[in-house]
Amino acid sequence: MSPETTEDQQPGVSYVMPVLNEAGYIREAVASILAQDYDGDKEIVLALGPSTDNTTAIVEQLHAEDPRVRFVHNPRGRTPIALNLAIKASRYPVVIRVDAHSTLAPGYTRRGVETLFRTGASDVGGLMDARGRTPLQRAVAAAYHSPAGLGGAAYHSGAPEGPAESAYLGIFRREVFDEVGYYDESLWRAQDWELCLRIRNAGRTVWFDPELRTVYYPRERLRDLRRQSYASGVWRGEIARRHREGKSRRHDLPPAVVAAVAAGVVSWFVRPAAPARGTTAALALLRLAPVAYLGGVAAAAATAKSRLSPRERLLMLAVLPTIHFPWAVGFVRGRAAGAGSTLDKGRVRA
């Protein structure tokens, strides 16, 4: 598809989706794709990782029900490998990345393709509309939408339409992969940001369109959220090690806050035998750090714009630290020593 393609044309679209342990979500995700209000040809290419639940059997059944649902095997189970396998097996000029833990609004494809034509962009993304089925999941979703949760990125909290650093999931012109290459398979997470960097460095445009919304269901347990947050922090630190553009002051803020809170907690129990001049005042200030952090978390929970029950707002008091602390520790580890073989163990089960 060339930039000159007119908006009234609806080229074929290939949806590519990594799938691993998604028995509870995959059927709904696929149904939302097949129900898209879009007249062009559609296919779904699922990259099947080594799931330990009933995911593979469900996918085989979906394929039997509708031949537009195709699948390839991804024995290593890594997300960038899955994406590359699916893209290479796909056939149409527009490639739309989708997540098995999400559903698409009926007009998502139509709007996304129109935005590609209208802007001349090579990659378009929109808002991640986090939602929940359980009280804890709804509390996590509210934290994701809050600037206090994931830092207020455009695809979480919204921004005006325009050029962007990265795109959530992504609606791509197929030829961009021929020009800049596929996903970096050495990046087990944050591979979307790195691909967007190469797209921008090639002189092409990544575009944010707030009219595009994808419903996303976060982790259902605090343990899984903690593991996801840690892995995300580690790989964000790896990105900062590899790329000058990957470093940002906002990424240094969580480790600074966590360090201050930890030092403040220690200061409540450790007192210098002979405080030097000014030490007493510094210690008093440091001891306020945990109190200030807890106050900030409570304020974020109380003022969250999502419609939450009192119980769900209380759950946010646990959710926000479960996002902040593991991410900060992981980021420091990734910056200092690299990501190595860090996995998101909240999704990968033994």
Q: What is the DSSP string of 184-249?
A: -TT-SSSHHHHHHHHHHHTT--EEEEEEEEEEE---SSHHHHHHHHHHHHHHHHHHHHH-GGG--H
* Contact criterion met (CB below 8 Å) for 311 and 334: no
Whether 177 has a pLDDT exceeding 90, the answer reads yes
Q: Considering the domain boundaries, does residue 316 fall inside one?
A: yes
Amino acid (one-letter) located at 264: G
Instruction: Give the integer Cα–Cα distance in Å for 132 and 216.
Output: 8
User: Percent of the chain scored above 70 by pLDDT?
Assistant: 91
| Phi, psi values for residue 159, rounded to 5° | -165, 165
Residue 95 CA to residue 44 CA, distance in Å, equals: 10
Residue 214 inside a domain? The answer is no
pLDDT of residue 348: 54
Residue 269 resides in a domain: yes
Q: How many domains does the chain have?
A: 1
125 near 155, Cβ under 8 Å? yes
116 pLDDT tier (thresholds 50, 70, 90): very high
- Per the model's pLDDT, the better-predicted residue between 281 and 54 turns out to be 54
CB 48 within 8 A of CB 10: no
Q: What is the average pLDDT across 259-271?
A: 87
- What is the rounded CA–CA span in Å between residue 140 and residue 118? 35
- Give me 290's structure tokens: 């945990």
pLDDT at 341 over 90: no
Domain membership of residue 308 (yes or no) is yes
* Among candidate residues 94, 103, 97, 26, the one with its CA nearest the CA of residue 57: 26
Domain carrying residue 301:
239-337
Helix (H, G, I), strand (E, B) or coil at 95: strand
Inside any domain, residue 331: yes
Of the candidates 165, 162, 138, 137, which has an alpha carbon nearest to the alpha carbon of residue 151? 165
**pLDDT averaged over every residue in the chain:** 90
Q: Residue 6 class from Cβ within 10 Å (0-12 exposed, 13-18 middle, 19+ buried)?
A: exposed
pLDDT exceeds cutoff 60 at 206: yes
Residue 186's pLDDT is 94
- Per-residue confidence (pLDDT) for residue 275, from 0 to 100: 62
pLDDT-derived band of residue 157, with 50, 70 and 90 as boundaries? low
The first and second tokens of residue 9, run together, are 């044309």
**CB within 8 A of 141, min separation 6: which ones?**
130, 131, 132, 216, 217, 218, 306
The rounded distance, in Å, linking the Cα atoms of 200 and 343 is: 28
pLDDT score of 174 more than 90? yes
Q: Is 317 contained in some domain?
A: yes
The answer to the question of residue 220 being in a domain is no
Which of 138, 149, 150 is CA-nearest to residue 320? 149
Rounded to two decimals, the pTM is 0.85
The model's pLDDT over 44-89, given as tens digits with 9 standing for 90+, comes to 999 999 999 999 999 999 999 999 999 999 999 999 999 999 999 9
CA 40 to CA 92: how far, in whole Å?
10
Q: Which of 126, 136, 75, 73 is nearest to 104 (CA)?
A: 126
- Which residue in 93, 104, 81, 91 sits closest to 33, CA to CA? 104
Average pLDDT over residues 31-41: 95
pLDDT value for 251 = 86
For the chain, the straight-line distance linking the first and the last C-alpha, in angstroms and rounded, comes to: 42
pLDDT of residue 350: 37
Length of the chain, in residues? 350
Residue 310 lies in a domain: yes
Distance between CA atoms of 52 and 212, rounded to whole angstroms? 33
Q: How many CA atoms lie within 13 A of 175 on its CB side?
A: 9
